[in-house]
């Protein structure tokens, strides 16, 4: 993995495209795929980043070209395809 790759400001594709099956504050029954997390602020940054309430799944997501692509729309498409490919 390319460790020099950083999150794209205003993207939040990883907080929108994938489903999250664990409870999130404000989303106690999980987060469906394609729905923005309620913990995103107006700048599309996570209000739970670095806090123990943040789902463990979120910490596994690491920015990189294969997940983020070259734009927010490409990241959404890549993550939606991954979500579809891994849905039981």
- pLDDT single digits (tens) 7-27: 899 999 999 999 999 999 999
Report pLDDT for 3: 57
Instruction: Enter the pTM of the model.
Output: 0.86
Q: Are 41 and 47 in contact (CB under 8 A)?
A: yes
State what percent of residues in the chain have pLDDT above 70.
95
Q: Rounded to the nearest 5 degrees, what angle is found at the Cα of 22, between the Cα atoms of 24 and 33?
A: 85
- Determine the Cα–Cα distance for residues 40 and 4; give it in Å rounded to an integer: 24
Domain map (residue ranges) of the chain: 13-86
- Determine the Cα–Cα distance for residues 53 and 2; give it in Å rounded to an integer: 28
Between 4 and 55, residue with greater pLDDT:
55
Extract the runs of DSSP E, i.e. beta strands, from 4-85. none
> What are the tokens at 69?
């692509």
Mean pLDDT of all residues in 60-86? 94
- Residue 66 CB coordination number (10 Å): 12
């Amino acid at each position: 993995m390319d460790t020099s790759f950083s999150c794209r400001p205003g993207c939040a594709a990883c907080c929108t495209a994938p489903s999250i099956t664990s409870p999130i504050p404000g989303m106690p029954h999980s987060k469906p795929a394609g729905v923005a997390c309620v913990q995103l602020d107006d700048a599309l940054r996570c209000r739970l980043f670095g806090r123990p309430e943040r789902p463990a799944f979120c910490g596994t997501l690491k920015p990189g070209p294969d997940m983020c692509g070259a734009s927010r729309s490409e990241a959404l498409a890549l993550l939606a395809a991954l979500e579809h490919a891994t849905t039981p």
